[in-house]
Amino acid sequence: MNSPEPVGGVPPPSTDLVGRQLLVREILSRLSEPHQFGAIVVGDPGLGKTALARTVAEGLGEDVTVVQIGAQPSLRKVPFGALAPYLTELSVADAGSPIAIYRALTRHLGQQGTGGTVPLFIVDDAHDLDDSTSVLLAQLIATRRARALVLARPTPGPPSEFLALSHDGMLDRYDLTPLNRQQIHELCVRELGDEVLSSVSAVLSKTSEGNPMFLLALLHSDARSRYLLKRNGVWRLSGERPGIDLRLTDLIQGQLRGRSGPELEVLETVALAEPVALSVLRESCDPLAVDTLIDDQLLSLTAGPEARVALGHPLYGEVIRAQVPIGRSIAIRRRLLKLIEDQAESIEGFLRWVSWGLDCGAVLDDATLLKAAIVANRLYDPTFALRAARVVQAPELKSRALVEIAHARMTRGDFAYARELVDEALLNCGSLRIAKEATLLSIDLRMRGGGNAQEIRQDVHRWEQTVDRIEQLRNGSSSPSIRLSRMGSQILSCFVLNLEGRYLEAETQLVAIRDNPEGTEETRLAALALLGEALGSTGRPLAGAAATAEALNIIAASGHRFLRHQEFVITRHGMSLIRGGQWKAIGSLLAAYSQAADGGMVYFGGILEYFEGIIALRQGRMRTARKRLMLAVEGFRESDIAQLLTMSTGMAAYACAMAGDTAGAQRYSKEFAALPAYGSLQARLQGKIHSVGANAHLVGASAAITELRGIGEDAESVGMTTLAASAFELAVRLGDSASLTALHRITATFDGADGAVVNAMAAGMLAKDPTRLEAAAQQARDADYFLIAAECLGTAINLLSAQGQTQRSRALQPALNAVVEKLEGLHGHQFSEAQSATKLTQREQDIVTLASRGHSNRDIAEQHGVSVRTVEGHLYRIFAKLGISRREDLQDLNPS
């Protein structure tokens, strides 16, 4: 490929273009067709038009001449100004002659040696192309003497000559769109060079709005150091939000350069006031400038009964606001202060109005300041919450403001100071509202700091005592507000019951609270969330998901009032969906809330990876499960509001073991054993179950099976049936057929796909019926439970082989092979027709596992609590059974 040097030189070869690969291939394919003469690519600044063209040029053959043409606003009125680099030998007399220009250009192309191949013109910033060049290039394309790749912004758009060629079918048009969330994550991983938590890409996707140029600026080393931190090879958030640095400021200022004075005034006004009513903006600023900016898509109109105006990209607002001089900013704010007050129904408008009032010295009443602090805390803006709460002066509101200051301090990670403020607010508290808010905040602090159920119960008891004292001060009058406070403390008592695994006891109380006519929307949504957790933990995940979905609907319909409950409900809703095998629903949940407008989910540790990891684990995609759960652990090290670190650590150990990562399994098993006992009993025991399963792969299954049976039996006895089923299922997976009866009995009453699949597997294995196992495998495969499907098919094949039905056994092998491929390399003894190790007892198999890993006879004896002589006797019998004579031969039986 021959490329003449345009002004500035040809950019270096690009790497793979994230999110545009299909478009590049399509354009290259179209350029190879004889009746197609190019394409028009339209997109906003920063979406990657130039990088796309560069990649297309790199994909062309060596015999294609590429002519780079860069249009510039300064040359827009200069005839053939864009072609100046190729007309250096043209005389002054011929400079205005289209024929002479054409001949000079064709001579230049001829010197490049096209070999008869039609050249390709790449026209960058075609919206700034002078008319003469547009006409000439269009004539070359129309007469089939050139191809073109035309790059332009949507406004003012490509020149009319190229649009006419597109209308005639000679040029295809493609409109570039912003990168989606998945593509943003892929680009983050590529640029940062390590694993990236989903919370990071969620923040950056929202901040950049899918614009690759802005994203790359945010990921530049100078910018990312302010809000990103890498630990254990994983990038995570370390600050409140990405900051604007000089690099990004220069990029955005470059996009705004050349705007008129009235247009800049409009941009400044909107940046300071957005969203602002369109009618008022037209009165305050030049209406023509407003219309021009809307047409150029630098301003966007929001839907609603009255059109409101915002900047086309949020980063534009941050840069413009930072550049407006203080005096001018105050003048604009004072002029529009009354306007913003009228917009108080908008959350953003209300907060901006309060902020302006504080900046301009306006008199704001304490109730308004307190409301602003509450809203800011719910929107994860601790800086503004502190600013508003600290200036509250009314004595009757001081304690309430103190709670909001504590809330903001907690968000910033200053737990000790937040604890002092909460305790101060509750000391001799005489307000039911403050007692409630301070208690909820105290429990938040307990959860973030690893507090246990007993500590939370003490908080509930303190709240009850405060309500009793206030009731006595009111002459023992049990008013509706007193009864509502007691209902709130009862909800928190049920929360503690759930933490302790006493779900059936909590369920009865929660149903009564849910149906209490004196309850509020908040008490109802809290009761529904906890009820959903209780139902999902006792084998009724579909009913549980229905309850938590109703709670989410209440939050969605409440504006910003209940946003602080969102993560609490989402976690429980997601777990019910997973336990019910509702894969599509959980995918939709994560997609919806990972980019919620309030930004709450992005601060929620590794919750997205946690859900994805559990799904992969249940489906049997162990490599994916390993990766996602390892990321979840790293996320929860930073922020573990829901206290899921213990559970995810144990599951990470198990996923590593199943994926063949012995070192990872050992590391996470040790980490699990060292973690303090906090969080719910169910989460701790789920982590324990999977940690035991991981250790079984490392040292043998005998002790693990015994421990899993014990956990399962204890859990079933107190009604924790979902946990019991997990323990018995894992014991069965390790070869314990005795656990099949309990597993079948427990899952018989479960609702949802998960329980049905496990129950069908247990029934087929109990009956030792190949036909039923084959049907169970099909049921599991249809529900994407590939590991269970493989186990059912493997067992059916072994049974058929033992019964001498060799032909039928072999007929099932292709189906097993197809399912095993979905397990991402996982292979186990249950998936093959015969293995010599299956002749051994469980104790003998455990000794083979340890001996094959290099453990001495004394090591094995100590781990199993027997004498060295007993181990030597076992090895003698093992060698005889397997027909081997050397210890090294055991490695062939246990290569992992």
* Arithmetic mean of pLDDT, 282-303: 83
Statement to judge: residues 33 and 133 lie in one domain: yes
3-state SS track over 74-92: HHCCCCCHHHHHHCCCCCC
Residue 114 resides in a domain = yes
**3 state DSSP class of 762:** helix
- pLDDT of 336 strictly over 80: no
Residue 804 resides in a domain = no
Q: Which residue has the tokens 């609590």?
A: 865
Domain final position from 678, 696, 724: 678
- pLDDT of 35 strictly over 90: no
Q: Among candidates 121, 714, 603, 183, which has minimal Cα distance to 377?
A: 603
pLDDT per residue over 484-520, tens digit each? 999 999 999 999 999 999 999 999 999 999 999 999 9
What is the pLDDT at residue 12?
38
* Arithmetic mean of pLDDT, 681-699: 93
What is the pLDDT at residue 350?
76
Lowest pLDDT segment from 89-98, 283-292, 450-459: 89-98
* Arithmetic mean of pLDDT, 286-293: 89
Q: pLDDT-based confidence at 312, cuts 50/70/90? A: confident
Alpha-carbon distance of 859 to 853, in angstroms, equals 11
- pLDDT of 684 strictly over 50: yes
Please tell me which residue, 122 or 100, carries the higher pLDDT value: 122
Cα 284–Cα 288–Cα 292 angle in degrees, nearest 5:
115
* Arithmetic mean of pLDDT, 37-66: 85
Sort strands 195-196 and 120-124 into parallel, antiparallel or unpaired: unpaired
Residue 446 resides in a domain = no
What is the pLDDT at residue 7?
33
Task: Give the domain CATH number at 28.
Answer: 3.40.50.300
Alpha helices in 379-449 (DSSP H): 382-390, 395-411, 415-426, 432-448
Q: Which helix (H) or strand (E) holds 150?
A: strand 147-152
What is the pLDDT at residue 767?
95
What is the pLDDT at residue 1?
40
- pLDDT of 380 strictly over 60: yes
Query: Which range, 63-77, 245-259, 372-386, has the best average confidence (pLDDT)?
Result: 372-386
The per-residue DSSP string of 238-261 comes to -SSSPPP-HHHHHHHHHHHTT--H
**3 state DSSP class of 272:** helix
pLDDT per residue over 143-187, tens digit each? 888 888 999 988 788 888 889 988 888 888 999 999 988 899 999
What is the pLDDT at residue 95?
61
Q: Which residue has the tokens 């009731």?
A: 471
pLDDT per residue over 525-579, tens digit each? 999 999 999 999 999 999 999 999 999 999 988 877 887 788 889 999 999 999 9
Lowest pLDDT segment from 49-53, 304-308, 706-710, 713-717: 304-308
Statement to judge: residues 534 and 669 lie in one domain: no
For residues 622 and 655, the answer to whether their CB atoms sit within 8 Å is: yes
Q: Could you tell me how many residues make up the chain?
A: 896
What is the pLDDT at residue 664?
92
Statement to judge: residues 615 and 674 lie in one domain: yes
- pLDDT of 835 strictly over 60: no
Task: Give the domain CATH number at 869.
Answer: 1.10.10.10
What is the pLDDT at residue 131?
85
Domain membership of residue 859 as a residue range: 837-892
Is this model's pTM higher than 0.85 or not? no
For residues 178 and 315, the answer to whether their CB atoms sit within 8 Å is: no
Task: Give the domain CATH number at 594.
Answer: 1.25.40
What is the pLDDT at residue 617?
94
What is the pLDDT at residue 88?
64
Statement to judge: residues 169 and 196 lie in one domain: no
Q: pLDDT-based confidence at 653, cuts 50/70/90? A: very high
For residues 418 and 441, the answer to whether their CB atoms sit within 8 Å is: yes
Alpha-carbon distance of 686 to 672, in angstroms, equals 11
Statement to judge: residues 510 and 649 lie in one domain: no
Q: Could you count the other beta carbons within 10 Å of the beta carbon of residue 102?
A: 16
| Both tokens assigned to 561 | 């009032």
Domain final position from 601, 625, 657: 601
pLDDT per residue over 429-473, tens digit each? 888 999 999 999 999 888 888 788 899 999 999 999 999 998 888
Domain final position from 220, 243, 266: 243
Residue 455 resides in a domain = no
Lowest pLDDT segment from 562-576, 715-729, 876-890: 876-890
Percent of the chain past pLDDT 90, that is, above it, reads 35
| Both tokens assigned to 615 | 């799904």
Sort strands 147-152 and 234-237 into parallel, antiparallel or unpaired: unpaired
Statement to judge: residues 46 and 157 lie in one domain: yes
Average pLDDT of the chain is: 84
Q: Could you count the other beta carbons within 10 Å of the beta carbon of residue 129?
A: 27
Q: Is the alpha carbon torsion for 594, 595, 596, 599 positive or negative?
A: positive
Q: Which residue has the tokens 């990029």?
A: 251
Q: pLDDT-based confidence at 832, cuts 50/70/90? A: very low
Alpha-carbon distance of 267 to 273, in angstroms, equals 10
| Both tokens assigned to 457 | 């119960």
Statement to judge: residues 573 and 640 lie in one domain: no
Cα 152–Cα 157–Cα 162 angle in degrees, nearest 5:
80
- pLDDT of 630 strictly over 50: yes
Residue 432 resides in a domain = no
- pLDDT of 789 strictly over 50: yes
Residue 217 resides in a domain = yes
For residues 650 and 688, the answer to whether their CB atoms sit within 8 Å is: yes
Statement to judge: residues 65 and 202 lie in one domain: no
Alpha-carbon distance of 704 to 764, in angstroms, equals 24
State the burial class of residue 855 (Cβ atoms within 10 Å of its Cβ: 0-12, 13-18, 19+): middle
What is the pLDDT at residue 404?
93
pLDDT per residue over 585-621, tens digit each? 988 887 777 655 444 544 556 888 999 999 999 999 9
Residue 52 resides in a domain = yes
What is the pLDDT at residue 724?
97
| Both tokens assigned to 869 | 């002589």
Statement to judge: residues 37 and 138 lie in one domain: yes
Contacts 24+ apart (CB under 8 A), 622-626: 622/655, 622/658, 622/659, 622/823, 622/824, 622/825, 622/826, 623/659, 623/824, 623/825, 624/824, 625/651, 625/655, 625/658, 625/659, 626/652, 626/655, 626/656, 626/658, 626/659, 626/661, 626/664
* Arithmetic mean of pLDDT, 4-16: 39
- pLDDT of 200 strictly over 70: yes
Alpha-carbon distance of 4 to 423, in angstroms, equals 73
What is the pLDDT at residue 885?
67
3-state SS track over 485-546: HHHHHHHHHHHHHHHCCCHHHHHHHHHHHHCCCCCCHHHHHHHHHHHHHHHHCCCCHHHHHH
Lowest pLDDT segment from 40-49, 338-347, 734-743: 338-347
What is the pLDDT at residue 594?
65
pLDDT per residue over 662-676, tens digit each? 999 999 999 999 998
What is the pLDDT at residue 436?
92
Alpha-carbon distance of 746 to 721, in angstroms, equals 7
What is the pLDDT at residue 219?
87
Q: Among candidates 223, 299, 206, 310, which has minimal Cα distance to 256?
A: 299
Q: pLDDT-based confidence at 113, cuts 50/70/90? A: very low
Q: Which residues contact 231 (CB under 8 A, 6 or more apart)?
A: 634, 637, 638
- Residue 184 β-bridge partners: none
Query: Which range, 98-112, 317-331, 502-516, has the best average confidence (pLDDT)?
Result: 502-516
Q: Could you count the other beta carbons within 10 Å of the beta carbon of residue 372?
A: 26
Lowest pLDDT segment from 14-28, 47-61, 710-724, 787-801: 14-28
* Arithmetic mean of pLDDT, 281-293: 86
- pLDDT of 15 strictly over 50: no
Statement to judge: residues 535 and 511 lie in one domain: yes
Residue 447 resides in a domain = no
**3 state DSSP class of 672:** helix
How distant, in Å, are the alpha carbons of 26, 72, 123, 818 from that of 202? 29, 36, 34, 35
* Arithmetic mean of pLDDT, 194-204: 84
What is the pLDDT at residue 320?
83
Number of domains in the chain: 5
Q: pLDDT-based confidence at 14, cuts 50/70/90? A: very low
pLDDT per residue over 731-759, tens digit each? 999 989 999 999 999 999 999 999 999 99
Q: Among candidates 139, 129, 67, which has minimal Cα distance to 99?
A: 139
What is the pLDDT at residue 241?
66
Statement to judge: residues 75 and 93 lie in one domain: yes
Alpha-carbon distance of 273 to 353, in angstroms, equals 8
Statement to judge: residues 622 and 550 lie in one domain: no
How distant, in Å, are the alpha carbons of 580, 618, 727, 773 from that of 780? 13, 11, 19, 10
Residue 649 zone, left/alpha/beta (φ > 0; ψ -120 to 50; rest): alpha
DSSP 8-state class, residue 812 = H
Sort strands 228-231 and 234-237 into parallel, antiparallel or unpaired: antiparallel
